[in-house]
Structures are given as C-alpha cells and as structure tokens.
Amino acid sequence: MPKLMIEPLTSGLPQLYSFRRCPYAMRARLALYGSGMEVELREVVLRDKPVELQELSPKATVPVLVTVEGQVIDESLDIMLWALRQSDPEKWLLQGTELKKAMALIDQNDGEFKHWLDHYKYADRFPEYSASYYREQAEMFIAQLEQKLTCQRYLMADRLSVADVAIFPFIRQFAHVDILWFDQAPYPSVQSWLASLMESSWFVDVMVKYSQWNVGSDVILFGQKR
C-alpha cells in the first residue's frame, strides 16, 4: 500500500509518535529498540492529540513513524517490518515460510482475538453478553498459544521472533483485565512466556515514561545505538 510522503526530515533521525500504554505503539517501539535504531520519540496524549499527528495520518492514531526520507508509516506492523528490515541484529524477522506463518499468527491476534479482547476489557459497552463470555471467546486464541508454547520456548521456535514481539503486548493487556483470574487459569506456558517477556530488560526500557510532546518540546531520543 502506498505511503504518504512529506518533505525529508532535517534532524537526521526518524520521528515516532507513540503512546506508552498502547499495545500497537508498544510493538512498534519494541521492534525499533530491537533493531538498534534511534528515533525522536513524540509521546502523545490521546485526548489531546497534536495537530501534527492528525496532519500526518488520517486515522490520527499511534504509532506513526516518519522516516528521514519523509515516508509516513502509520500501521504498527508496517513500522515493525520497516525497522527490522533496516537492521535485525537479534534475527527476529524470520524468512520465507516461517515469516508467512508468523504473519498469519499475528493476523489472528490483530483480528479475532483483538475483537474479543476489546469486548472483554470493555464489557460494560457490550451488554449483550457477560465479560466471562467474551473472555471465553478470547481464550480460544490463548489456548492455541498454550499449545505452541508447551512444545517450544517461543511462539515460532526456541528463539524470540517478530511473532512474540508483535503479539505479547496484547496478551499482556488480556492478562491485566483480571490478573487474579489469569494467574490461576490453565495456561502455565503462556503465563511463563508472558512473565519472561515482561521482565526482560528491553521491555523495561521501552516502557519508560516520557512527558507529552508539543511543538517546542525538548527532543527525546529513543532506542539504542549499537
């Protein structure tokens, strides 16, 4: 899909519009961090979106990345793929058939699972059924991940990949809707996988809090130069 182009940036670094707690923005930051790239971070408050973000993307949602060449990328998965194709020192991206399988699993996460996750998290907005009903629908995907993780350490193999990085922010969100229920649910492999990722140093680094960005704010550098 063609991307919007603006004038090339003069700063020499890409610009990332992000919101700390958004799982889509999390996955974008994780991929950028894992790539070893450095960007200018522009932390957005969703109830007070800057005009600059709204002008860059008709959706006006995070994340949005502006490359040095002036390419505007406003889908989180596209940002991940762009970053890892620039630099992938940890070999997260996978190749060929394995990448297709990873993308199919991510598509399940972003489609049906996200649908039921939103209904579970905001069950009061969907009074047709109970929160437990919506959770049960979402659990079908969790059970699928449990089966995978019972046989291997990560979702695609015994090493971390783009599938883990793209999906786990949403499983984290699912878990925290009712953490007491999740901690005793019959998904020990998913629980261990999620805990290990949340305790990783790189996840801690990408979850650092930053103040809201406005025109004239000090430049905040995000990422890690290798």
What local confidence, expressed as pLDDT, does residue 160 receive?
Answer: 97
Structure token pair of residue 226: 């290798």
Do 215 and 178 fall within a single domain? no
Do 108 and 195 fall within a single domain? yes
What region does 213 belong to: left with phi over 0, alpha with psi -120 to 50, or beta? Answer: beta
Do 126 and 62 fall within a single domain? no
> What is the mean pLDDT of the segment spanning 17-43?
96
**Burial level of 49, CB count in 10 A (0-12/13-18/19+)?**
middle
Q: What is the pLDDT of residues 173-221, one digit of tens each?
A: 999 999 999 999 999 999 999 999 999 999 999 999 999 998 888 889 9
CATH number at residue 176: 1.20.1050.10
What's the structural domain count of the chain?
Answer: 2
CA dist 38 and 225 (Å) reads: 6
CATH number at residue 24: 3.40.30.10
- Domain hosting residue 78, numbered range: 4-90+204-223
pTM to 2 decimals? 0.93
Do 73 and 21 fall within a single domain? yes
Do 217 and 133 fall within a single domain? no
Do 69 and 126 fall within a single domain? no
Do 61 and 119 fall within a single domain? no
Do 178 and 108 fall within a single domain? yes
Do 127 and 52 fall within a single domain? no
Do 51 and 101 fall within a single domain? no
CA dist 33 and 163 (Å) reads: 16
